[in-house]
Structure formats: structure tokens, C-alpha cells
Structure 1
Amino acid sequence: MKGQEWYQATEVAEEYDEKRFSRGGRLIDRREKEAVLDAVGPVEDQRVLEIACGTGRFTVMLAERGADITGLDISGPMLQEGREKAKRAGVSDTLEFMRGDAARLPFPDNHFDTVFAMRFFHLADAPVKFLTEMARVSDDQVFFDTFNRFSARSLYNWLLPMGSRLYGDSEVRRIVDDAGLRLEDAEHDFVVPYGFYRKVPDWVAGPFRSGDTALGKTPVGRTLATVSYWNASV
């Protein structure tokens, strides 16, 4: 998997949220959390697994809403940041963080109601294998996001330290099918790529996001979207 050693560095974990979700990056954080909440719906007493939970942005959010949630990640330092976040939010006793490999999930079949992964599949060298494991341990729903091949992200992807795996629409649909899932819904967003928002202050990011959202509702915007959210059922 791309970036495996990089994500396990303590200094990366400590700076991860600040570098990605400050300044204009706060818009990204809000939109991603909205996408997760829209997809999973009411989660009280639902069994939820987050793959590649990182610093626990979504794990803690869903624990606060009553989910019986487990966050799994390969990085010990990232998980420690998540535990600190859970402690500050007062939900340390209502969630579990586990270190583990997403290719070999340590859970029985159909163990969770919902399994989801955000910011993961752009690092996956074998996406079908990972998605198949997610489908195996889910009794109902699998949700994930991808970065899109035919978008502005492709113009600078090769400049990134690890690069990203970019996906076309037909490729994702084939992967979903190969994993034994049924695609229920897909949303497409952010014509202007994430990297731009992270570099600019809020007062610049806000107007750009308004224009971005308006363009994204058009057929042209749908074609140029850099991010897609995929909701599938088992």
C-alpha cells in the first residue's frame, strides 16, 4: 500500500489534522463528514467499522452519535492521536481503536452493519482485495471515496510525494461488482482539488467553494469532479 511507512511516522500523525484541515481545509473536513453522515444515516446502536481511521475524525464523530464503532488503522501513532481525540470528546469508553491490516480484517463475516473507508482507496494497490474484505465483514452497507482520474487532480498527482491511485467511473463500478457488492448511490464533488483549499485562507476558500459547488451541479461539473463518494450494499 502506498505511503504505509510515511503514515506510521509519529511526526506525521501529530501534524496530520493541522496540515490538512486548517485554513481552507476546514471546508474539506466539513464536506467529508457530511458525506459520511448522509450515507450511514442514524447510527445509534449500529455496529460500524471504519477502515484506515487515521486520527479518528469520523470514528469520534459517529461515537458521539451513539454508534457502536471500531476504528482500524495500521499506524500506531495515528491511533494514539485518535485516542486523544476521543478522550477530549468524552467518548473513550464508547469506541474501540485497533491496529490491523485492512487486507485481513480480524472480524467474522457479517459482523458490522456498516463498514466505511475515507481517504484510503487512493493508496490501495489492490482495491478489489480491500473492498472484498470490507464486504465480507459487513451485513448491510459499504461506503468509500475515490479520487477521479479525469479531473484536475490528474494534473498534479505526479508531483505528490506518494502520488495517488486515480479511478475512472467504470473502474469503480467494476471493482464494486467484483467485490460482490451492489452500488446504490454515488456523489461527485470538488471540481477544484483539495490541494488548492489547503493552501488558501478561509476568506479565499469560501467564495471558491460556492462557485465549485454550483459548477458541480452541472453536467460539466459532474465530469470534472475530483472526488466521488460510493454507497454500496451487500
Structure 2
Amino acid sequence: MKGQEWYQADDVAKEYDDKRFSRGGQLIDRREKEAVLEAIMPVEDRNILEIACGTGRFTLMLAHQGADVVGLDISAAMLQQGRQKTRNTDISGTLEFLRGDAGRLPFPDDHFDTVIAMRFFHLADDPEAFLQEMRRVSRDQIVFDTFNRFSARSVYNWALPMGSRLYSKSEVAVLLAKTDLTLLDVEDDFLLPYGLYRAIPNALASPLRALDEAIGGRQIVDHLASVSYWNAQVR
């Protein structure tokens, strides 16, 4: 997988949330969590696996909502950050952090109701194999996001330290068909790239986001969105 050494570094893990989800990045965090909750609701009592859980943004949110969640990640440093967030925290469901490889998930077939993978597919060397493995351990639902090829994301993609894979809608449709998944819903968002929001204060990011939502809400510009949130069902 791209950038594994970079991603697993201790200093990257310590600064990960602050660099990506503070300042204008708070708007990204809010929208991504909204997309996950909308796809999975009702969350309570669902058995969920999050692949590439990082510092636990989604795992903690889902556990607070009453789900039984396993967060899996290749980075011990990221997992440690996630475990620190659970200290002195009242969680309605259950939460376990586990180190593991997304290409060889350490679970039996049909083990989870839902499997999610956010901020993952742009790093995947073999997206079909990873999606097939996600499907294997899910008995109901797969939720993931992709960064889109024909969008502003491509402008700065080359500068990312760990590289990034961009997808067209047709490529994802083929992946779903090959892995025997049925698309339930897809949402497109963020005409402006994530990197711009992370680089500016929230006071400036908020009006830009409002403009982005106003223009992006028109179906004619959906194909220019930077990110898509996919909700698929196991057949």
C-alpha cells in the first residue's frame, strides 16, 4: 500500500488530527461523519468493522451511537492515538482497536453487519482485492469513499507525500460489479479540494463551504465533485 512507512510514523500519528481536522478541516470532519451516519443508520446494536480506522474518528463516533465496533489499522501509532481518546469516555456500544492488514482481514466470513473504509481507497494498490476482502467479512453493507479523477483533487494530487489514487464513477461501478455488490446510494461533494479547507481558518472556510454547497447542489456539476461517498449492499 502506498506510503505505509510515512503513515505509520509516530510523528505523523501525533499530528494527524490537528493537521487534517482543525481549522477549516473541521468542516471536512463534520461532513464525513454525516455521510457515514446517514449510510448506516440506525447505528445502535450494529456490528461494525472500520478498516484503516486511523486515530478512531469514526470508530468512537459509532461506539458512542451504540454500535459494537472494531477499528483495524496497520499503524500501531495511529491505534495508540485512538486508544487515548477512549480514556475517561462513556461509550454506549463496545469498541476494540486491532492492528491488522486490510488485505488479509483476521475475521471469518460474514462476521460484521457493516464494513466501512474512509480515507482508504486512494491508498489501495489493488482496490478490487481490498473491496473483495471487505465484502467477505460483511453480511450486509459496505460503506467507503473515493477521491474523484475529474475534479479539483487532481490539481494537487501529485504533491501528496504518500501518493493518491483517483477514480472515475465508471471505475467504481466496475469494482462493485466485480465484487458482487449492489449500489444503494452515492453522494458527491466538495467541488473545492480537501487540501484547501485544511489550509485556511474556519472563519474563511465556512463561507467557502457555503458557496461550495450551493453550487455543488446542482446535479449538473456532480461529476466535478472531489469526493464520493458510496453505500453498497452485499448480494
Task: Check the 8 A contact 1:86/1:92 in 2, yes or no.
Answer: no
Please list, as runs of the form range in 1=range in 2, the aligned pairs for 1:128-143 lying within 5 A after superposition.
128-143=128-143
1:187-207 deviations in whole A, cap 9, x for unaligned? 000000001001111111000
Residue matched to 1:174 = 174
Which one is further off, 111-120 or 80-89? 80-89
1:145 matched to which residue of 2? Answer: 145
Stretches of 4+ aligned residues off by more than 6 angstroms? none
Give 5+ residue unaligned stretches, structure 1.
Answer: none
Cα distance in 2 for partners of 1:93, 1:79 equals 18
Distance 2:205 2:193 in 1: 11
User: What's the CA shift for 1:218?
Assistant: 1.1
Q: Percent identity at matched positions?
A: 67
Indicate if the aligned counterparts of 1:52 and 1:120 stay in contact, CA closer than 8 A: yes
Greater Cα offset, 20-29 or 153-162: 153-162
Q: Aligned-residue CA RMSD in angstroms?
A: 1.2
Aligned length: 234
Hey, what does 2:104 align to over in structure 1? 104
Provide the residue aligned with 1:118 in structure 2.
118
Aligned to 1:230: 230
2:127 corresponds in structure 1 to: 127
Question: What's the TM-score, normalizing by structure 1?
Answer: 0.97
CA distance in 2, matches of 1:61, 1:9: 25
1:73, 1:119 → 2: CA distance? 12
Q: Aligned partners of 1:48 and 1:105: how far apart in 2?
A: 14
C-alpha distance in structure 1 between counterparts of 2:202 and 2:83, whole Å: 28
Quote the offset at 1:89 in angstroms.
2.6
Opposite residue 114 of structure 1, the aligned amino acid is T
Which structure 2 residues correspond to residues 175-194 of structure 1 after superposition, within 5 A? 175-194=175-194
Question: 1: CA distance between counterparts of 2:182 and 2:99?
Answer: 29
Aligned to 2:183, the other structure's residue is in SS state strand
Residue 93 of structure 1 and its aligned partner are, at CA, apart by 8.4
Q: Which amino acid aligns with 2:77?
A: P
Residue matched to 1:84: 84
Contact kept in structure 1, 2:63 and 2:93, CA below 8 Å: no
* Cα distance in 1 for residues equivalent to 2:40 and 2:26: 21
Give me the TM-score of the superposition, normalised by structure 2: 0.97
Alignment of 1:1-234 (within 5 A): 1-91=1-91, 94-234=94-234
Structure 1 CA distance for aligned equivalents of residues 216 and 169 of structure 2: 16
Deviation at 1:92, TM superposition (A): 10
Taking the aligned partners of 1:54 and 1:162, their CA distance within structure 2 comes to 15
| Contact residue 187 and residue 228 of structure 1 kept, 8 A | yes
- Aligned partner of residue 146 in structure 1, secondary structure: strand
Verify the 8 A CA contact 1:21 1:198 in the aligned structure 2. yes
- Structure 2 unaligned regions, length at least 5: none
Deviations 1:61-116 (A, max 9, x none): 00011101100000000000000112243339821100000011011111100000
Q: CA deviation at 1:219?
A: 2.9
Aligned to 2:87, the other structure's residue is in SS state helix
How far apart are 1:161 and its partner, in Å?
A: 1.5
Q: Is the 8 A contact 1:60 1:89 kept in 2?
A: no
Q: Does the 8 Å CA contact 2:45/2:67 hold for their aligned counterparts?
A: yes
Instruction: Write the distance in 1 (CA, Å) between the matches of 2:169 and 2:15.
Output: 33
Q: Within 2, Cα distance between the matches of 1:48 and 1:34?
A: 16
Q: Which amino acid aligns with 1:152?
A: A
Please state how far the C-alpha of 1:139 moved relative to its aligned partner: 0.6
Match of 1:48, SS state, is strand
